[in-house]
Amino acid sequence: MPAPPRKDPGETVVAAWRAESARLVGALTRMTRDVALAEDLAQDALVAALEQWPATGVPDNPGAWLMTIAKRRGVDHFRRTDRHDRKISELERTAGEEGSMLDLDDLVDHIEDDVLRLIFLSCHPSLTAESRAALTLRLVGGLTTAEIARGFLTSEATMGQRISRAKKTLATARAEFELPTGQERARRLDDVMAVVYLIFNEGFTATSGADWMRPELTTEAMRLARMLAALAPDEPEVLGLQALLEIQGSRMPARLDDAGEPVLLEDQDRSRWDRLLVRRGLAALRRAEQLAARGVPIGKYFLQASIAAQHAYAERAEDTDWRRIAGLYDVLARVAPGPVVEVNRAVAHGRGFGPDAGLAVLDGVDPATLGRSPLMASVRGDLLERAGRPAEAAEAFLDAATRAGNDGERAILERRAEHNRRASG
C-alpha cells in the first residue's frame, strides 16, 4: 500500500501562519507594548520556520514553535538594545517553557483577549478607514503586504508605506493595548465591524478594476467575522455581521457564469450557492435572535443579516418574500438611516408593492449624497424598466454605466441600457 503523500513544509508554514499569526502578534504586543516590534518578531519566527521546517520536519505544535522562536528573538532584541530588563525577564521565563508546552494556549494567558485587543488596536480611531482595513488584514488576517495590495488594486510599495505609516501613527498616538470599556467599547466595536464589512464589500463587488469580485478579501473578511464572533459571543450585532457576510458570501460561486460574466441575484443558479456558508450564517443569526429575544440591543448588521436570510430561505428568486424584506428595510431605515439604505429600501418596495412604490421611495433620496456611485441610477433604471418605461430606463442605465468604476458592473449596465433602448423602439 503506497505511503500517503507528505505535506509540503512550505504549505504547512503558510497554514500555521494564517491560523496563529493574530495570536502571536497579539501576545507579543502585550509583552512588548510595541505593535511594530511584535510584528517583526512574529515575522522573524515565520522566516525561521521557512528555513528550518523543510530540513527538520514540521513540529508537532507549529504555533507553539513559532511563539518560542519569536520570544527568543525578542530576548535577543532587548539584550542588543540594553534596555527593558523586565521585558527580558518575562520573555526568558516563557521562552524556557518549550519542553512543557502542549499548545499555544499553554504559552500565553488570556490569549483570546490578546487577539481581541489586537483587533481593536488595528482599528484605532487615530487611523483612517483605509489604514484600519490594511492593518487589520496585516496584523489580524496574517496576509502579506503583496496580498493586501492586490486586493485593493495598489502597488506593494504603496501598501507597505500605508501600513508602515499606520503603525507609526499608533506609536505617536500612544495607542493603548487594552480593551476599551463601556460606551467606548461599544463605539470602537462599531469601528471594528465597519472595517470587516468594508473589506468584505470591496471583495464582493470591487469598486474598480477588471474583476467584479476579489474572493480573497471576502474570504478573509468572513474569517475575521467568525473570529470576532468567537471572541464576543454575546453581542448580537457581531453575530449579525458574521451571519450577513456568510449568507452573502455563499452566493459567490453563482455570481459569475461559465464565461466569467457577472450574474445578478435574481438570475443566479441557487444550487451553486455554498450551502455550508448558508448554514453557518443562519446558525449565527439564530444565536443573535436568541440574544435579541432576551432584550440585548440589535442594530444594522442584525437587520441586514435578517434581510439576507430571506433570500437564503427562498429556493427560487420568485419565492422571495419581498414584502417581508421591505418591512425589514423600513426598520433598518429607522435604526441606521442613510442614502444607501433608502436606495435598497426602494428596491424592496418596488419588488414587494410595485415599481411605482419603489420610485416614490427613491424620489426622496438626494442624489448628491451618493457622490459618483452608480447605485441610485442603476436602481432607478431597474424600477423604470419594471414600470414599462424603457426609454427612461435606458437613460438611467447609461448614467449608471458612466459612474461605474468596475468593468464587470459597467458591462451589465451597458447591456441593460441597450436592451431598453431597443425595447423603446
Own/partner contacts of 249-256, CB < 8 Å, gap of 24 or more, are 249/200, 249/204, 249/218, 249/219, 249/222, 249/274, 249/277, 249/281, 250/274, 250/275, 250/277, 250/278, 250/281, 250/312, 252/204, 252/213, 252/215, 252/218, 255/212, 255/213, 256/212, 256/213
- Across the range 292-303, mean pLDDT stands at 94
CA distance 32 to 424: 68
Q: How confident is the model at residue 292 (pLDDT cuts 50, 70, 90)?
A: very high
The rounded distance, in Å, linking the Cα atoms of 197 and 122 is 15
Distance CA 100, CA 113 (A): 23
Residue 14 has pLDDT above 70, yes or no: yes
Helices marked H in 59-181 — which ranges? 62-81, 85-95, 104-107, 111-122, 129-139, 145-151, 156-172
CA torsion sign for 25, 26, 31, 32 is positive
Cell numbers placing 199: 473589506
State residue 111's pLDDT score. Answer: 44
Sorting pLDDT into bands at 50, 70 and 90, what band is 397? very high
* Distance separating alpha carbons of residues 311 and 332, to the nearest angstrom: 17
Cell of 373: 456611485
- Classified as helix, coil or strand, 78 is helix
Question: Considering all CA atoms of the chain, what is the largest pairwise distance in Å, rounded to the nearest integer?
Answer: 82
Mean pLDDT of 306-319: 96
What pLDDT shows up at residue 110? 43
What is the rounded (10 degree) CA torsion for 287, 293, 299, 305? Answer: 40
Q: What is the pLDDT of residues 345-388, one digit of tens each?
A: 999 999 999 999 999 999 999 999 998 899 999 999 999 999 99
Give me the mean pLDDT over the 290-315 stretch.
95
Helix (H, G, I), strand (E, B) or coil at 324: helix
CB 326 within 8 A of CB 348: yes
| pLDDT value at residue 294 | 94
**DSSP-based three-state secondary structure for 130:** helix
Give the percent of the chain with pLDDT over 90.
47
Q: What is the pLDDT of residue 26?
A: 87
Q: Distance from CA of residue 181 to its chain's centroid?
A: 24
DSSP state at residue 100: G
According to the model, what pLDDT value does residue 381 have?
Answer: 97
Nearest to 163 by CA among 132, 142, 140, 189: 132
Does residue 123 have a pLDDT over 80? Answer: yes
pLDDT class for 32, splitting at 50, 70, 90?
Answer: confident
The fraction of the chain above a pLDDT of 70, given in percent, is: 89
pLDDT 10s digits, 56-95: 888 888 888 888 888 888 877 777 765 555 555 555 555 5
Q: What is the pLDDT of residue 106?
A: 39
pLDDT of residue 90: 55
pLDDT for position 7: 57
State which of 58-67, 122-131, 309-318 shows the largest mean pLDDT: 309-318
More confident residue, 148 or 284: 284
Give 142-165 pLDDT, tens digit per residue. Answer: 888 888 887 777 889 999 999 999
Burial bucket for residue 106 (CB in 10 Å: 0-12, 13-18, 19+) = middle
DSSP secondary structure code for residue 102 in this structure: -
According to the per-residue pLDDT averaged within each range, which of 110-124, 188-202, 302-316 is highest? 302-316
| Mean pLDDT of the region 290-299 | 93
Distance CA(25)–CA(48), nearest Å, equals 16
Region 384-394: what's the mean pLDDT?
97
- The per-residue pLDDT of the chain, averaged, comes to 86
State the pLDDT at residue 21: 82
pTM (whole model) above 0.95? no
How many CB atoms lie under 10 A from the CB of residue 260? 9
pLDDT bucket at 280, cuts 50 / 70 / 90: very high
Binned at pLDDT 50, 70 and 90, residue 392 comes out as very high
Q: Cα dist. 377→73, 101, 243 in Å?
A: 56, 59, 29
Residue 300 in contact with residue 344, Cβ under 8 Å?
no
Task: Give yes or no for a contact between 372 and 406, defined as CB atoms under 8 angstroms apart.
Answer: no
Please tell me the predicted confidence (pLDDT) of residue 77.
77
